[in-house]
Structure 1
Amino acid sequence: MHDAEDMVQDAFLKYLSVDHQKIENTKAYLIRSVTNNCLNHLNSLKEKKKDYLDSVKLPELFEKLDFSHLDLKHELDAALGVLHKKLGPLERGLFLLREGFDFEYDELQQIFNKKKDHCRQMVCRAKEKLNKETERFTYSFDSEKYFEALRKACAEGSFEELLTHIVGDSQPEK
């Protein structure tokens, strides 16, 4: 609004300083003068924007910023939701450690206190259930805690917190 007022004022001041005998149509002159001031102002804004964007060096800025975790977090949240909807706690734990982190069945046997063949069968059944369209369980879990534990497991190789979540869900016999 202030820019528009300034442009009208500039046009009027210019009109007052010009010889009125040279102007055939005052209304047309003022309209054209305000229009030209507006176009000049828009061009000036475009130049300022271009100069600013050139000075910011956007490619370097985007290289420094890391947005990849946003998509990863959303995808992991959705994947964990599917696991929680379709699999029971023991199946979910076995499947996640076997397929997600490539744990051997000997390790799964120790963690869940189940026979190796039973672990293998549970992972196979979990795969079959995930391929089906139906949801077997309702779930409510804190995806933030799971995501943080999963991130630590992937980044640092620290599985303790993730195992706490998984084993806590499946409640294995000790």
Structure 2
Amino acid sequence: MRARVEEFEELRPLLFSIAYRILGSVSEAEDAVQDTWLRYAGSRTEPVSSKAFLSAVVTRISVDVLRSARHRREEYVGPWFPEPLLSDPYEDPERAAELADSVSMAALLLLERLSPLERAAFVLREVFGFGFAEVASAVGRSEAACRQLVVRARRHMDAGRPRFAADQREREELAVRFFEAFKEGAVGNLMEFLAADVQLVGDAGGKAPQWGRGVVAGARNVAGMLAALAGPFLQIGGVVEPQVVNGQPGAIFRDGDGRVVNTWALDIVDGQIQAIRAVVNPDKLRHVGPVADAWAVVQETNAALRTTDWARGENPTRPGLSGQ
């Protein structure tokens, strides 16, 4: 048993990374990995390859969970995003580009369009480089069928996947400058970083306040909202902590007590921010750290916003967050 424990712990980062890409949920991926261990510990047969066996088991469990989760996601209130991932525990220098690209919010949202089997086959083959025999064993289909699954999945992914042409360091440096501009709260400075058709999208799941229907579109609209909220948020002790989120530049927003308000992930293409994806749903943030009362933070921010506008003699109806 000790040998199995050691083998499993060595493979745990890979198993979690497979499950997360199939499920888009940190908590569900962790549960899938735990269930995989229970099956492994209870098995009386010794697999030829522990890696192949455990990868197949975690894939099957994840596919089953994904199938049951599809209905819940269809009824989700507002935009749905994966749970933010701050660090991917699995590292493979030879597949670093595939691993980083596949965990981005943009890629995970594209994976949502695939069937569970297409998603699993694509993740195993295209992201982790498994052979088709291993993919077939994991998803319970023939190798020929798995080739077709991967071809269809690749076609969907290639059609919609953004090309992060810039170097990761360049994107991170741009993000740092963007968040500095955010803290300054100047519309003109913010617009320099935003694509004309940029979208600010929030996943609150009906459990936290958000803006309108959860989407603000257009550089001027997005810059105006960010500029209006930055000063008041910082005034009440809010903190913007730059952080890699899902392999892309982003940030964690915290209240004055250091609790998590939301996370942002930035899609940066051709030197401009194409999308800002904010996860506000507290159920998706608990693995990041203690979660703030977002409603209270918004009330404080809006109160500070009104006070600032009144002191400046400005229009007190500048945009704030609401619970709509």
Which of the two has greater helix per residue?
A: 1
**TM-score > 0.5 by shorter chain:** no
Greater CA radius of gyration, 1 or 2?
Answer: 1
Return the TM-score normalized by structure 1.
0.32
Q: TM-score, normalised by structure 2?
A: 0.18
Which protein, 1 or 2, shows the higher relative CO under an 8 Å CA cutoff with sep ≥ 6? Answer: 1
